[in-house]
Amino acid sequence: MENNDLLLQVTSKAETWLSDKYDEETRREVQALLDNEDKAGLIEAFYKDLEFGTGGLRGIMGVGSNRVNIYTIGAATQGLANYLLKEFSTKDLIKVVIGHDCRNNSRKFAQISADILSANGIKAYLFEDLRPTPEVSYAIRKLGCQSGIMITASHNPKAYNGYKAYWEDGAQVIPPHDKNIIGEVNRVNVGDIKFKGNKDLIEVLGKNIDEEYINDLKSILLSTDSIKRHANIGIVYTPLHGTGFTIIPKALKACGFTNIINVPEQDILSGDFPTVVSPNPEDPAAMALAVKKAVETNADLVFATDPDADRFGAGIRNDKGEFILLNGNQTMLILIYYIITRKKELGQLTGKEYTVRTIVTSALTQVVSEKNGVEMFECYTGFKWIAAIMRELEGKRQYIGGGEESYGFLAEDFVRDKDSVSAAMLFGEIAAWAKDNGKTLYEMLQDIYIEYGYSKEKGISVTKEGRSGAEEIEAMMKNFRENPLTQIAGSKVTLIKDFVTLKAQDLNINEEFTLEMPTTSNVLQYFTEDGTKVSIRPSGTEPKIKFYIEVKDKLKSRADYEAVDAATESKIEQVRADLGI
């Protein structure tokens, strides 16, 4: 579309927001965009409608159809309400849980969502204050609700907010409900949104749910005697200004840990995230203050969670006593190894247990699972797909753990989204159990690599903002498909999987086969002769294209660890060069 045509289109669209259907403040801000000689802001705010995607909404806050505001949140909630009223028409009372994180406007958007649901005759359970995403999932199941809403933009920068939609099993919506809800949302006009709430249908949730949640989480612990023996393990915890502050210290204390050390600067609940650029435990800079505190206090562990406390990051001491930050694959590897090993020791493996990983997560967790007689399933990126497998196998098999490389893990089956609270509890327990076995966590990780094979992973995100960025990302994906790599880091590409077409090419035998997946997804994977794996996908929640690199090696002894680690790091740099990133 030519720039003049685009400007005419967005101007016309923006002018509709000047009608009295919109509040005065919104009209004033839209008029300011129209009056500004620089039309970039106007175009970004109105060039498209913010999409209610398969996980809900996420975007920059502000006025406009491509921004998160009371009208885009309102349309999402009205559309969800319309769908719930159709889907559960035989129920006397439909119930929905609503939670929110620390972000600017999160409480406002949560209250508006509760008002809209109640105005549509739906009972809304609204948390009294900010709470973690996994607790919302827990409450949906505990209270027998049909849906849930979490107002959050997860780990995105402070300009963002978002809206996650959940179904009655406590998981984020998947087909067919996601597409059906999207259809309802797209049919909503601003005049259809019922903003005037019914207070009689809004119930506030408080500390009682917190206590039930923590008590149920304690049931997954496997080595409580180890915790008693090592209760004083020093754990530095930072919520990165977010919701984890409300519950994770309490949960760790409920397990028996007595030496929980705060990072005061990051205990400040703030949607401006004043001490970090990105409130994401994947970002080492976000962990810097916690590591500094751990060094000062001679602590053993560093824990961090993102603003809605579903992601969990950990730091441990190496053999020199220095803190190293684990990546998401390593954290998941330790958790899966521990759960399986401990359950085996306790005689709790019956042959019906299973684990789950996403297609971009290290296959080493699969090796650990299957070598111990536990089947591991593979699914798309996003915890809703892990939850879909849990739903399918409910009552038939026993879920004991699953996760993804992006710092998400779930150990329990009574929550259906990634849970940093249970991950923190278990990780503390693992440190105590390792001490009982005469090891540090660092030595335990090395021993896992020695027994099951060495794997090094790196995730690289390339950010491309705005309309032009989206076009660049689309062009990059097209290029990788139309001009496939034949070699990566000197090793021949032997297999290509394309989840858009659900086709795979085995280049060794020159044959094509079908990928068995529930739906398509914009993911491309390359596999090489020497075991290197590269996955490429646009983010579904951020203006980024993501590259996931995994290279393999063998580790014969702890003494060889640093040399093997350096060799695989060098190889990852070769892979990056071949990818042009």
User: Which residues participate in catalysis according to the annotation?
Assistant: 154
Length of the chain: 581
Q: Do 155 and 58 form a contact (C-beta atoms < 8 A)? A: no
d(CA 531, CA 575): 13
Taking alpha carbons only, the member of 177, 175, 251 closest to residue 218 is: 251
The CA distance from 559 to 258, in Å, is 34
Distance (Å, whole) CA 249 – CA 539: 32
- For residues 464 and 545, the answer to whether their CB atoms sit within 8 Å is yes
DSSP per-residue letters across 413-473: SS--S--HHHHHHHHHHHHHHHHHTT--HHHHHHHHHHHH-EEEEEEEEEE--HHHHHHHH
Helix, strand or coil, per DSSP, at residue 166 = strand
414: exposed, middle or buried (C-beta count within 10 Å: 0-12, 13-18, 19+)? middle
Cα 124 to Cα 94: distance, rounded to the nearest angstrom: 9
Q: Is 62 exposed, middle or buried (0-12, 13-18, 19+ CB in 10 A)?
A: middle
Task: Report the C-alpha gap between 510 and 36 in whole angstroms.
Answer: 58
Radius of gyration in angstroms for the set of CA atoms belonging to the chain, rounded to a whole number:
24
CA dihedral 185, 190, 192, 195 (to 10 degrees): 100
Q: Name every residue whose Cβ is closer than 8 Å to that of residue 28 and which is 6 or more positions away in sequence.
A: none
503: its two tokens: 């086709």
Q: Are 488 and 572 in contact (CB under 8 A)?
A: no
Burial of 202 (0-12, 13-18, 19+ CB in 10 A): middle
Which residue has 């536990």 as its token pair? 374
- Rounded CA-CA distance 449/554 in Å is 8
Distance CA(118)–CA(125), nearest Å, equals: 10
From CA 116, how far away is CA 439, in angstroms rounded?
54
Collect all residues with Cβ–Cβ distance below 8 Å to 62 and sequence separation of at least 6.
29, 45, 68, 69
